[in-house]
Amino acid sequence: MNILQTLARERILPVLVIDHAADAVPLARALLAGRLTSAEITLRTADALESIRRVVAEVPEIKVGAGTVLSAEQAKAAVDAGAQFLVSPGFNASVVQTAQAMGTPIFPGCVTPTEVEAALAQGCSSLKFFPAEPAGGVPYLQALAAPHADVRFIPTGGISAANFGAYLALPNVLAVGGSWMATREMIAAQNWETITKHCVAAARFSGIL
């Protein structure tokens, strides 16, 4: 299964901020115990690349992506570390072109129709919709579906256990992304059981459990 097929099946993409690489493997195992098999590790911490390396080496069942990719250099470093897909908060043509040249799937963040069209022109049709809730949430995404019916979105930003179902009900939503099932605080506290419980709840909702 490639990352698009995994997201289409599981419909949940955990977004992770890992402060200590030592937490990466137990965290990945906690996601897996909750039946989720993809993860976006954000490049927001000093330990992010090492976390990606460790999960790739030790928990191969998880498809690991790098998030918060802001430059071509970061895109290359993430793929060197083993990232199997890339996510960026905005549409950055140089990041997208670098990912495409490496043959690595990239989900650039888009909100406006102008950004969506720029991404389409660059060959991307699976896009992050960020920041989902502040940008207008479900009604906004519904409106975007009218002119851009072929685009699939991964809404992220402000998604929670309370609202992810409303996004998943939209036909133009591939999957939702978010940190609610494994927050930075839960990770720092090594609260693996809670994380697994949240993943199981999400997996039940999306019908894979």
The reply to whether 117 belongs to the active site is: no
Interaction residues for ligand 3PG, span 109-138 (CB under 6 A): 130
Tell whether residue 108 is a contact of ligand 3PG (CB under 6 A). Answer: no
Tell whether residue 178 is a contact of ligand 3PG (CB under 6 A). Answer: yes
Long-range Cβ pairs for the range 194-201 (8 Å, 24+): 195/27, 195/30, 195/31, 195/34, 196/30, 196/31, 196/33, 196/34, 197/34, 198/34, 198/161, 199/12, 199/14, 199/30, 199/31, 199/33, 199/34, 199/35, 199/36, 200/34, 200/35, 201/161
* Assigned token pair, 146: 């009218």
Which residues lie closer than 8 Å to 57 by C-beta, 6 or more apart? 82
Query: Of these residues, 40, 76, 185, 197, which one is catalytic?
Result: 40
Q: How far is the CB of 146 from ligand 3PG (least distance, A)?
A: 25
Tell whether residue 167 is a contact of ligand 3PG (CB under 6 A). Answer: no
Pattern 47-86, ligand 3PG, x by CB under 6 A: --------------------xx------------------
Count of residues near ligand 3PG by CB under 6 A: 13
Residue 171: how many other CB atoms lie within 10 Å: 8
The reply to whether 197 belongs to the active site is: no
Could you say which of 37, 156, 172, 196 contacts ligand 3PG (CB under 6 A)?
156
Tell whether residue 15 is a contact of ligand 3PG (CB under 6 A). Answer: yes
Active-site residue set: 40, 128
